[in-house]
Structure 1
Amino acid sequence: MSKKKHLVVLSGAGISAESGIKTFRDSGGLWEGHDVMEVASPEGWRNNQELVQDFYNQRRKQLLTCEPNQAHYILADLEKDFEVSIITQNVDDLHERAGSSHVIHLHGELKKSQSTLDPTLVYDLDHWEIKKGDKCEKGSQLRPHIVWFGEQVPKMEEAMELAASADLFVVIGTSLQVYPAAGLVSYVAAGSKIYVIDPIMPEVNFRRKVITILESATNGVKTLEKMIKSEI
């Protein structure tokens, strides 16, 4: 039996939007009515910890009402025929809930907290709220486990290695404007195919041929499934 091809997916806000999770990409830099720098930067945290905590508490509460959509489920199902790795810019757990077994989160995870003193201390949350006074084992306040603008992306090296090992690389629902994640396409080997699924083609110079599927995440992933299964 031949070895399964490695399918690597870079997913963005467009795939989660179809599950009812609001994005800030198409709303003038606002995220749920807030300037993103107020709620997604170290400066925002220093200026108003209460606002930032409440913002992510509400995002967690919202996530409890959301379910994976068909795009998530199809990607999970593709593990029957491919070795599938998901690199997601999303902080929700919808890929995992749909059944994908290898997911790395570039920008952190909503359902986890981390120490403000030691960012390597990360904890699973079994509830939706982080409160003032919730502390890590070293005694410092817990904060959302989110990679904010201006912070290092701890899993970037792992993502680069996955992109380089892809036989098929698929970009879903991301404008490819946020770096360093947007640079992952450049690590894909010259002989590997790149697919881009989005209703609007990202304004990016790929410097190589890409296969574009100008559809929503769910419809686009259905189209992708037919295209790549014909190659098995």
Structure 2
Amino acid sequence: MSSKPSKIVVLSGAGISAESGLKTFRDADGLWEGHDVTEVATPQAFEANPHLVLDFYNQRRRQLKTVKPNTAHQILADLEAYFDIEIVTQNVDNLHESAGSTKVTHLHGELFKVRPVNNPNHLIEWKDDLQMGDTDEKGNQLRPHVVWFGEAVPMMQNAIEIVKTADVLIVIGTSLQVYPAAGLMDYAHQDIPIYLIDPKPGINESENLRIFATSATAGMQKLKSILLKN
């Protein structure tokens, strides 16, 4: 690039959080902390066994309190000093925000928020365990603010509009296999530079696509120097 980009859009996935110690359900065994996702991450699972589902997310919430942003998160936050950066993440953790990133859109919800079962728009900050019997002020049972498999992704249109504004697109820590999020890259302008950082990229390099087949941290360290040199 002959000049510095004014707008960088980042699509991040579980791979960036894994370096902070958070497990992903797309580990080699296909399980998330020992659970099949159909047991803990679908509306049907919550209806069939709400105690199991709530306990699963209580464990995730407790675990999130014990980890910190890693170098890849920190670099993205630090780059805000030079660029207009907007992050669209598939992750339900708050590690981007903890690192200092100020514009983060969560496609799949947030662990530290809950909502009434009958109102997806009423979000409540929640960092402790959530139990059956915990309700909003109207007596409605609360559930994790997490988009489960089979549910709509309400922030999808927002994410599409964000990607359309990118002068540079960074895809980091995601296999681009989970739809609809996997289709987001298609909304970027065809001639902008795209950087994919993933140890096991599922696609090949092309004219505008450069791949770093490495960890999130190693990839962001390389990319930071590239972006700041241009």
Superposition TM-score, scaled by structure 2 size: 0.95
State how far apart, in whole Å, the 1-side matches of 2:196 and 2:8 are. Answer: 13
User: Counterpart of 1:148?
Assistant: 148
Partner amino acid, structure 1, of 2:149: F
Residues 152 and 230 (structure 1), Cα distance of their counterparts in 2 relative to 1, 3 Å cut: same
Residue 30 of structure 1 aligns to a residue whose secondary structure is coil
What is the rounded CA distance, in whole Å, between the counterparts of 2:164 and 2:64 in structure 1?
32
Contact 2:4/2:227 (CA < 8 Å) preserved in 1?
A: no
Residue type of the alignment partner of 1:23: T
Distance 2:105 2:87 in 1: 6
Provide the aligned C-alpha RMSD in A.
1.6
Who is 1:82 aligned against? 83
SS in structure 2 of the partner of residue 163 of structure 1: helix
> In structure 2, what is the equivalent of residue 179 of structure 1?
179
Measured in 2, the distance between the counterparts of 1:70 and 1:100 equals: 13
CA displacement at 1:29 relative to structure 2: 2.2
Aligned length: 228
SS at match of 2:134: coil
| Structure 1: gaps (5+ residues) | none
Offset at 1:118? 1.1
1:225 match: secondary structure: helix
Instruction: Give the CA deviation at 1:150.
Output: 0.7
Structure 1 residues 207 and 119: CA distance shift in structure 2, 3 A: farther
Alignment partner, residue 159 of structure 1: 159
Which one-letter code corresponds to 2:216 in the other structure? A
Q: Please tell me whether the aligned partners of residues 4 and 81 of structure 1 are also in contact (alpha carbons under 8 angstroms).
A: no
The structure-2 alpha-carbon separation of the partners of 1:157 and 1:62, relative to structure 1 and needing over 3 Å to count, comes to same
Question: Identity of aligned pairs, percent?
Answer: 55
The range that moved more, 40-49 or 130-139, is 130-139
- Gaps of at least 5 residues in structure 2 are none
CA-to-aligned-CA distance 1:134-179 (integer Å, 9 cap, x gap)? 1123321100000000111111111001111100001001000001
How far apart are the structure 2 equivalents of 1:4 and 1:182? 24
Deviation for aligned residue 1:43: 0.8
Q: CA deviation at 1:17?
A: 0.4
Answer yes or no: is the 8 Å Cα contact 1:110–1:146 preserved in 2. Answer: yes
> What's the counterpart of residue 129 of structure 2?
129
Within the alignment, does 1:214 sit opposite 2:213 as a pair? Answer: yes
